[in-house]
Structure 1
Amino acid sequence: MKQPPRSHPLWLAFVLHRLSGLTLALFLPAHFWLLSQAITAPARLDGFLTLAEHPLVKVAEFGLVFLLAVHMFGGLRLMALEFLPWSNRQKTLAAGAVGVALFLSGTFFLRAI
């Protein structure tokens, strides 16, 4: 089977989905550890929550929501690839999914600042 060129939009969607999954997998243990601080060390959690007001953390939250949305839409793309007939039109849908992910995470970011 012939591989698509690396500049192909669907190859880029493949890479973005894998990178978003890897990044989220690295983030989740730290997130769960931080949540555990509410039970084991509430004062430490309060310190982290104060840090969450920093503008750089707000930008990182935007990135996290973007990765979540991209990963979700990438998973939907993969399900469509497996269960629906594939056409050239779906390239546009994959790009649209990234656009919607950017919109959703941007909306979250604007509400957070």
Structure 2
Amino acid sequence: MDALAELDRRHHDLTDQIGYWQHVIAAAEDGSAKIWRPADFTAGDFARVGGRWVEVLRVNTKSLAVSVCVERRPIVTTDHATSTGRVPYDNVTGRATPDEITRLTAPKKG
């Protein structure tokens, strides 16, 4: 019976913790902080990670599979990638479409 009581206690503790963190996430989003999720990305998009834009190769439940380049390029695409890596969503600070990246890298007129 002690094991059942311990499991019940843990269940209630975890339920309380989940409720707390759901509240923290909701409050962060209400305060204009963006919480990135799989639904925010599709393959071919770019994610801002550590001051660089990296091309998204695959969207996973807990992370993005991205192009990785050993050179310190501000934008990493599959054209200059040396490998692939994984980036958890809490390391992402922005999202851009391929068109937005093209405009960002276009030569300035005038």
- TM-score, scaled to structure 1: 0.30
Q: Which has the higher contact order (CA 8 A, sep 6+)?
A: 1
The TM-score with structure 2 as length reference comes to 0.31
Which structure's residues are more often helix, by fraction? 1
Larger Rg: 2
